[in-house]
Structure 1
Amino acid sequence: MLSTENLSIGYHGQVIVKDVSFTVPHGKITALLGPNGCGKSTLLKALSRTIKPVSGHVYWQQKDVQNIAHKEYARLLAMLPQVQPIPEGLTTFDLIAYGRSPHNGFWGRLSQKDRAVIDQVMAASGVTELADKRVSELSGGQRQRVWLAMTLAQETPYILLDEPTTYMDLNHQVELLGNLRRLNHEGKTIVTVLHDINQAARYCDYLLVMHNGELVAQGTPAEVINQKLLKEVFAVNAQIFPDPVANTPMCVVDD
């Protein structure tokens, strides 16, 4: 459903992502991998229509997304950016409620269904006990979980996440990635930027690897992860072993 064709993206006349073409596997979890500055977040912004392409296209069901009404696209695809502002005065519940705006209008009154969805995503994100707390008073990890809950409240078939494990300690990272797998089993298609290659290999079905603004590899973790790629893209010497739990590729960096 979601694809790109010869997509180039940039800022202020400088091209960051160059001539990228791929199709997001429907019904799967896809990870965008690559070193800092390679264009992962920029590519995600183009998929979400936050920025316009310099050239090329992003398609939803073979229709250029630039020709889809904003509210309609917001019902199809939700995006959690890497950096979010800290809203002053808003409670956790109020912020998550904004996720329902594509369904009821930005200033629309919450219906019984809206409130049920909000309660459900708060429980799934582990923030129910934070409902009445101001977002500005939360820790970085708590805020990240609240923003994720707001994204889930949009109830879109596709979800884009830019480094969703940022600010989270290890147990909450594992919990979040497990929740993404659960959402995927419930029918969501997910595209996420991750930095941890082993986490991506364990929890994701498909990998897109970026380097210097170009898409250099794509496929399943077993097809993509190898010593040559790790050396050329990430500048590390590593051995590849089967993960003893998931039996997915696991990278161990050499000294």
Structure 2
Amino acid sequence: MNGLEIQNLAVTLGGNAILRDVSFTVEPGQVVGLIGANGAGKSTALKAVLGIVEPEAGDIRIGDQDVAALAPRERAKKLSYVPQGAPVHWPLTVERLVGLGRTPHLTPWQEVREEDQAVIRSVMEETDCWHLRNRLATTLSGGERSRVLLARTMAVGAPFMLADEPTASLDPLHQLQVMDIMRGQAACGAGVLLVLHDLSFALRYCDRLVLLHEGGVLASGTPADVLTDAHLETAFKVKVARWSEGGEQFLAPHVAGG
């Protein structure tokens, strides 16, 4: 299986052009960050790849397969998704909710198998939510719910994982744990596509970045290529302070001219 390729993607919603001529690739083993100001089209790009919104134009392929032509179950096996701030309406236990991630691998009415249960426990332990397994999902805090939904997505075992701001609502420790998990998914061969707002996380954790601006690609490449002063001032209207500590690089934005 080759990379996830997005070519010349265009999306119009409600008569407004949200994306135009957007192209990038997510290779297996890579973490690719989608960054940009609010309204740049980042979440829409993820939803177009997943088929949640219908593109006006463009091709989305995994290797030689047209993603749009895949049956829903086959698409679900290849592309998993962590939505941003998704509510949970069903009074399911947390363990049962995470177990829904195994659905694409089961036939209708098939019980969860022993191997599925092993996957469920493994991903819940990795996301620090195994201790929540008997709680009703509707009683979780926002941060707990985010970790549980990440575990559900990991349970799919898809070769490509898409996540929309996976660190939102999390405390600093769990933000770092989630980003380490994303890197771990890539280290195991998955292609990971993240929507991020934290520029330090984008710099430290991503192999490649795609900077969206006004619906198009302003810059694409390594973090060093994309996170230039000129690009950040154009896209975000900010300047940044840069430093390194313990071999890690950091940046902090401040208002341009401030």
- Normalised by the size of structure 1, how large is the TM-score? 0.95
Contact 2:35 2:197 in 1 (8 A): yes
> For 1:1-255, what aligned pairs fall within 5 Å after superposition?
1-105=3-107, 107-241=109-243, 243-248=244-249, 250-253=251-254, 255=258
Q: Deviations over 1:46-85 (max 9, x none)?
A: 1122222111111111332111111111111101111312
- Aligned equivalents of 1:247 and 1:122: distance in 2? 28
SS in 1 for 2:224: helix
Contact 2:85 2:146 in 1 (8 A): no
- Normalised by the size of structure 2, how large is the TM-score? 0.94
- Aligned equivalents of 2:45 and 2:60: distance in 1? 10
Structure 2 alignment gaps of length 5 or more: none
Contact 1:118 1:153 in 2 (8 A): yes
Q: Deviations over 1:105-133 (max 9, x none)?
A: 35421011111110111111111110000
- Aligned equivalents of 2:86 and 2:215: distance in 1? 24
- Counterpart residue identity of residue 206, structure 1: R
Mark the CA change 1:155 to 1:106 in structure 2 (over 3 Å): closer, same or farther: farther
- Aligned equivalents of 1:160 and 1:107: distance in 2? 27
- Aligned equivalents of 2:179 and 2:242: distance in 1? 22
Contact 1:227 1:238 in 2 (8 A): yes
- Aligned equivalents of 2:253 and 2:52: distance in 1? 36
Q: Which moved more, 1:173-182 or 1:154-163?
A: 173-182
Q: Deviations over 1:209-230 (max 9, x none)?
A: 0011111101111111111111
SS in 2 for 1:187: coil
Deviation at 1:247, TM superposition (A): 4.2
Structure 1 alignment gaps of length 5 or more: none
Contact 1:237 1:253 in 2 (8 A): yes
Please give the root-mean-square deviation of Cα atoms over the aligned residues, in Å. 1.5
Q: Which moved more, 1:161-170 or 1:177-186?
A: 177-186
Deviation at 1:139, TM superposition (A): 0.7
- Aligned equivalents of 1:16 and 1:252: distance in 2? 26
Mark the CA change 1:146 to 1:222 in structure 2 (over 3 Å): closer, same or farther: same
Mark the CA change 1:21 to 1:160 in structure 2 (over 3 Å): closer, same or farther: same
Contact 1:101 1:108 in 2 (8 A): no
Q: Deviations over 1:153-195 (max 9, x none)?
A: 1011110000001110111101111111122212221110110
- Aligned equivalents of 1:156 and 1:66: distance in 2? 17
- Counterpart residue identity of residue 100, structure 1: R
SS in 2 for 1:19: strand
SS in 2 for 1:237: strand
Contact 1:125 1:149 in 2 (8 A): yes
Alignment: residue pair count:
254
- Aligned equivalents of 2:154 and 2:252: distance in 1? 31
- Aligned equivalents of 1:78 and 1:105: distance in 2? 18
